[in-house]
Amino acid sequence: MAESLKWACENGDIDAVKNHIGENKDLVNTIGSTGRYPLHFAADYGQTEIIEYLVSQGADVNMSDKHGITPLLAAIWEGHTKSVQVLLDNGAKKDGKAPDGSSYIDSAEKEEIKNILR
């Protein structure tokens, strides 16, 4: 995965993301040199428009990165409530475990996210 795609996912540059995926649709589920997928970067930074676009292009909402972290867990840890909801609405499984073995609900710090996960 190109560094420019990672940057676009993190910074919400939807046009750049669309250009990258338009040139090579396989990038949507391609792991980068950091061991993460485009959806992880978008979830980390709360970029819901990017999340929705990547999912519409076939991104796997339940894939884990090299550390066993799913996009949903990334959004939970970063406190991105809207991203958590978008991922759940698109089939993310909320019964996963964090790498330390804790449940997703126990991994959430924000009460609003805990309520969404209940």
CA 26 to chain centre: 17
22-35 pLDDT, tens digit each = 999 999 999 999 99
- pTM comes to 0.96
pLDDT for 1 equals 64
Query: At a CB cut-off of 8 Å and minimum separation 6, what does 50 contact?
Result: 8, 9, 12, 14, 17, 38, 42
Contact 79, 40 (CB under 8 A): no
37-94 pLDDT, tens digit each = 999 999 999 999 999 999 999 999 999 999 999 999 999 999 999 999 999 999 999 9
Instruction: Write down the domain spans for the chain.
Output: 3-117
Q: Which CATH class is domain 3-117?
A: mainly alpha
